[in-house]
């Protein structure tokens, strides 16, 4: 495979991975207040995404892929809400272990990485068109 086509493929894999990450962030943010629906139930558990680098045999480059989507094992914060349906016998409700600030930081980072991959695609496109321009008659 031609190296510039391989560049486009690798950058596209980066775009895919970062948008998957953004999807997980939005899932976490949407469920930031999702408690359980019976007394003492576990609330929504924050999801985390990991990336793995894979050698692409066709292009010889290292494309990125989404690895396992895991659950954050950190403890759930407790809040005293006796009226809640998920409250245990002492009136405490387990809230999701989602920290909105962390999710925001993650979102910004995913955004930046997405932009960097876009920039690589833009540049590869420019290099290809520079090569094609050699054939234009002046």
Partner 1 sequence: MEPVNLFDLATRQSQWLAVRQTAIAGNVANANTPGYLARDVEPFEKVLERTAVSLSATQQGHLGFGATEAAFGTRVQEYDGAILPSKNTVVMETELMKAGEVRRAFELNTAIVKAFHSMLLTVSKG
| CB of 42 or CB of 115, closer to partner 1 | 115
Asked if residue 74 binds partner 1 (CB under 8 A), the reply is: no
Q: Report the nearest approach of partner 1 to the CB of residue 95 (Å).
A: 27
CA distance 25 to 74: 17
The single residue listed with the structure tokens 């950190």 is: 74
Please work out, in degrees rounded to the nearest 5, the angle formed at the alpha carbon of residue 54 by the alpha carbons of 53 and 59: 125
| CB of 18 or CB of 35, closer to partner 1 | 18
Q: Report the nearest approach of partner 1 to the CB of residue 118 (Å).
A: 10
Of the listed pieces 7-15, 24-32, 80-88, 92-100, which binds partner 1 according to CB under 8 A? 7-15
Reported in sequence order, the residue ranges of the chain that DSSP labels E, i.e. its strands, are 47-55, 62-71, 78-80, 92-94
Residue selected from 24, 63, 87, 93 as contacting partner 1 according to rule CB under 8 A: 63
- Cα 36 vs. chain centroid, distance in angstroms? 25
DSSP at 83: T
Among 1, 7, 2, residue whose Cα is nearest residue 125: 7
Please work out, in degrees rounded to the nearest 5, the angle formed at the alpha carbon of residue 95 by the alpha carbons of 107 and 76: 85
Of the listed pieces 36-44, 69-77, 97-105, 111-119, which binds partner 1 according to CB under 8 A? 111-119
Residues in the site for partner 1, rule: CB under 8 A? Answer: 2-4, 6-8, 10-11, 13-14, 17-18, 21, 50-53, 59-64, 109, 113, 116-117, 119-120, 123-124, 126-127, 130-131, 133-134, 138
């Amino acid at each position: 495979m031609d190296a510039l086509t391989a560049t486009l493929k690798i950058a596209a894999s980066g775009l895919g991975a970062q948008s998957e990450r953004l999807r997980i962030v939005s899932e976490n943010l949407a469920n930031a207040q999702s408690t359980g629906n019976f007394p003492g139930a576990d609330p929504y558990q924050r999801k985390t995404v990991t990336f793995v680098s894979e050698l692409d045999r066709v292009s010889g480059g290292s494309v990125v892929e989404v690895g396992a989507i895991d659950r954050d094992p950190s403890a759930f914060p407790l809040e005293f809400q006796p009226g809640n349906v998920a409250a245990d016998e002492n009136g405490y409700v387990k809230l999701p272990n989602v920290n909105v600030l962390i999710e925001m930081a993650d979102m910004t980072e995913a955004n930046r990485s997405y932009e960097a991959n876009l920039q690589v695609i833009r540049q590869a496109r420019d290099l290809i068109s520079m090569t094609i321009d050699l054939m234009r008659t002046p």
